Amino acid sequence: MKIAITTWFHYQNYGTALQVYALSTFLNNQGNDVDVVNYIPDGQVVSLPQEKMIVNYLEKIKKKIVSRKNSVIELSDKSDKFNDFLTNIRFTNRCSCISDFEMLNGKYDVFIVGSDQIWSPLSYDVRYFFDYINNPGKLISYAPSIGVNSIQDKYIEKNMKKYISRFNKISCREKVGAEMIGKLVERDIEEVVDPTLLLSASEWKQELKLKQTEKQYLLVYFLGTNKKYWEKVYEVSKILNLSLKIIPVYEKDKMRAGVIDESIGPREFVEYFYNASFVCTDSFHGTAFSLIFNKKMLVFERFSNKEKENQNSRIYNILSKFNLKNRLYNESTYQHEIMEEINYQCVNEILTKERKKSENYLLNAIEAAGGSEIDKDNSVDRRNTPCCGCGACQYVCPVQAIKMDNSCGFKKASVNRKICLNCGKCVNVCPFIGRQESKKICDGKLLSYKDNDRAVLLRSSSGGIAYRIAYQGIISGCYIVGCKFNKEQLKAETILIKDKESINELQGSKYLQSSNFNQIIKKVQDADKNIILFGTPCQIAGIKKIFGDKKDIIYVDLICHGVPSQSVMSKYFEYLKRKYGFVKKNTDILFRDKKYGWEKRYISVFQEGKIYSEEKKKDPFYRLFESGFCYSNACYECRWRDKSNADIRIGDYWGGRFKGDASGVNMVVVMSQKGAMLIDEIKDYGQCENQNIMDYLSNQQTENVHKPVFYDSIISDLENESISIEEIISKYVLPIEKQIATERTLRKVKNKVQSLNILSRGIRNE
């Protein structure tokens, strides 16, 4: 069987590296062909703040102070040893966004998630629930850990239920986790052992070529920082008359007597447990390897039981499973317990039984999943890649089986299964499927541009480059494709213009998804002149998959953060109607009104003598748009944050270089020779200067933001006619705005207190 495993591997944590090694080794030894999905998560979960915001933030500060006092050791040779160890594992190509993950479909017979705390709600990540796999029959979980006793966030709980319910076979590492998941998905969940326990002591010795030493020692491996525990370790060392060997975790550990000076990789970590006479640890995997090698041990609780989200259940579970609860540190009995022998004959019998049960679960699950039918459907709507509404698939469909529907305020392709030929032409042109011929932004040439015509600047969102490109195109005999705001329907529309007088329609930002980009493709095909085509990066990528690098088309894409649901505009206009008396007729919106300057972003609405104007921090449309909570699904999986398929990329020149400029400056990234020739033709219309590409990489969004865990809820509320835009902001946006403001205030207070303390110490020292 070809098997793909997804789990953590990138943290320089011994247990993390060893559990993925153990699972892949076990499966390979069973005759399977195993890869690990090469995914390194980044960013934090985007969720609504819990109650007691200030208390929670102060707790964060406390933890940060503790972590500064206990800084983790960072050594390059330790990193080298981890990297060398991971060469024993075969990885897939690097996966960053869902388009990369989607390509794994069809390559593997079985997909396994596990182990480690990848299902912990504290570090929720949808990728570890195989949201990208089309056939749920291929999904198996092996020993993922929940890590906590309850799921506090209702949105995370809802998402976990949604994705875990898809799995064919489900298991968990701990009893508490199995019970929680079982209740969540209303199924019986198998409790299995950690992957490290799937390999016997002799197998670990053989696989890692462990060497035996004669010297006896007490091995210490603490992930916590409890001073009392260290005192007890020294007492145990004296009682047992054993010298200490300490695997250091924090910088201050290097000062302890008995610390191991050499850098320790995963292999060396196992070898120290293999040779130890006694072990003191608060680590789950430290406990696991003590069991594997039949070591006497004393296990400590890493977390305080007063912490709501403590993770001690992992330790309790493994000790309870092997009838070793008495090895958990107890102040009144520990001196007696350390002198007692552990009945490892009994422990090993349990371990053999549990290992066999876990092996049977895993092998039977693989056999069942591997026999599931391969999804041979070759159309865009049977995949998990998001739709950006570009319409490329609709254009190439030979039987017109595809149309662009409205779905929750976004354009989305739908396929008529009755007439679909399953020919795959739609898949071939989808910008989110397959490999892309994109160029890296860092390989482009960065320019700044500011037009000399003040009237052009006033109507443009920034420096007027889009107007000037369109103007030059028209006078050179080209047609221009760009986006205008439809004043009657309050929508963004893509149009083709042929004269200078129409360029004004294209000026300014339109913070909405084009409602008809799919309809412009045929006009581009039928055009009898050269085309300059403006669009978002995904639109350009889609249309370029149809027309390629034709000499008669110049592609210009926009620096884009995301497009909000059209429902945001609908709610917004209801607000304008209710509060200010606007009617849905001939309404013009300047999404970036420069009357107060370029950097002060105002939105202004005009209608037959009525004018509404508000800054972005107070305007409901802007607050929802800038929150990033209601973008298209495709925006959270964008493939072009740091890449482009266009000849030119344009946007605002944010950053410090033009700070204070009142009328706006453009960033222009030249990506091709065609783009360079066009810019050369217009540069004398304004101030056009070479700049360092680092300005782009430092000041523009080059990575995707995380989709909030409450995304489905906010999109649903936007579709609900009975819920106002103010209510939506109050429910989703305001709590996070308050959290950010509170954290900012508390940081200032903390910094002032620190400054006063430093000043006070200085005065006392004089």
Q: What secondary structure letter does DSSP report for 144?
A: B
190-246 pLDDT per residue, tens: 999 999 999 999 999 999 999 999 899 999 999 988 899 999 999 999 999 999 999
In angstroms, rounded to a whole number, what is the distance separating the alpha carbons of residues 725 and 629? 13
498, 573: one domain: yes
What gap in Å lies between CA 8 and CA 10, rounded to an integer?
6
**The pLDDT value given to residue 447:** 98
Q: How confident is the model at residue 63 (pLDDT cuts 50, 70, 90)?
A: low
Q: Residue 476 has what pLDDT? A: 95
Please report whether residue 630 resides in a domain. yes
Q: Which two tokens stand for residue 617?
A: 């921090």
Query: Is the CB of residue 19 less than 8 Å from the CB of residue 285?
Result: yes
Sheet with 139-141: list strands edge to edge: 91-94, 33-38, 2-6, 110-113, 139-141
pLDDT in tens, 492-504: 999 999 999 999 9
Per-residue pLDDT at 751 exceeds 80: no
Q: How many domains are contained in the chain?
A: 5
Beta bridge partners of 94: 38
Summarised one tens digit per residue, pLDDT across range 651-680 is: 999 999 999 999 999 999 999 999 999 999
- Does the pTM surpass 0.95? The reply is no
> 626 and 554, same structural domain?
yes
Classify residue 737: in a domain, yes or no.
Answer: yes
For residue 184, give the DSSP letter. Answer: H
Same domain, yes or no: 691 and 734: no
Domain end (from 699, 716, 750): 699
**Both tokens assigned to 354:** 């549990």
Task: Decide if 136 contacts 169 (C-beta within 8 A).
Answer: no
Same structural domain for residues 682 and 732? no
Q: Is residue 434, in this structure, part of any structural domain at all?
A: no
Q: Give the model's pLDDT for residue 87.
A: 95
Question: Where in the sequence is the domain holding 189, given as residue range(s)?
Answer: 2-46+71-198+356-368
Query: Do 189 and 312 fall within a single domain?
Result: no
Claim to verify: residue 41 and residue 132 sit in the same structural domain: yes
Q: DSSP for 657-706, please give it.
A: TTTT-SS--EEEEE-SHHHHHHHHHHGGGEEEEE--THHHHHHS--SPPP
Taking residues 396-425, report their average pLDDT. 94
The pLDDT of residue 604:
96
Provide the pLDDT confidence category of residue 765 given band limits of 50, 70 and 90: very low
Query: CB atoms < 10 A from the CB of 452, how many?
Result: 12
CATH code, domain with 416 = 3.30.70.20
- Say if residue 677 is in the same domain as residue 738: no
602-607 and 2-6 as β-strands: parallel, antiparallel, unpaired?
Answer: unpaired
The DSSP annotation for 44-81 comes to -------S-HHHHHHHHHHHHHHHHHTPBP--HHHHHH
What is the structure's pLDDT at 283?
94
Looking at the structure, do residues 759 and 651 belong to the same domain, yes or no?
A: no
Q: Is there a domain that residue 594 lies in?
A: yes
What is the CATH number for 102?
Answer: 3.40.50.2000
Beta strand 217-221 with 278-281 is parallel
Assign residue 295 the CATH number of its domain: 3.40.50
In a domain, 55, yes or no: no
Q: Residue 57: what pLDDT?
A: 53
Same domain, 214 and 291: yes
Report pLDDT digits (tens) over 562-589: 999 999 999 999 999 999 999 878 899 9
Asked, for residue 65, whether it belongs to a domain, the answer is no
Q: Are 699 and 655 in contact (CB under 8 A)?
A: yes
Residue 101, domain member (yes or no): yes
- In which residue are the tokens 């080209």 written? 478
Inside any domain, residue 60: no
In this structure, are 165 and 287 located in the same domain?
no
Q: Which amino acid, 192?
A: V
522 and 580 share one domain: yes
Tell me what pLDDT residue 136 has. 93
How high does pLDDT run on average in the chain? 91
State yes or no: pLDDT of 148 exceeds 90.
no
Both 321 and 272 in one domain: the answer is: yes
pLDDT tens across 455-478, in order? 999 999 999 999 999 999 999 999
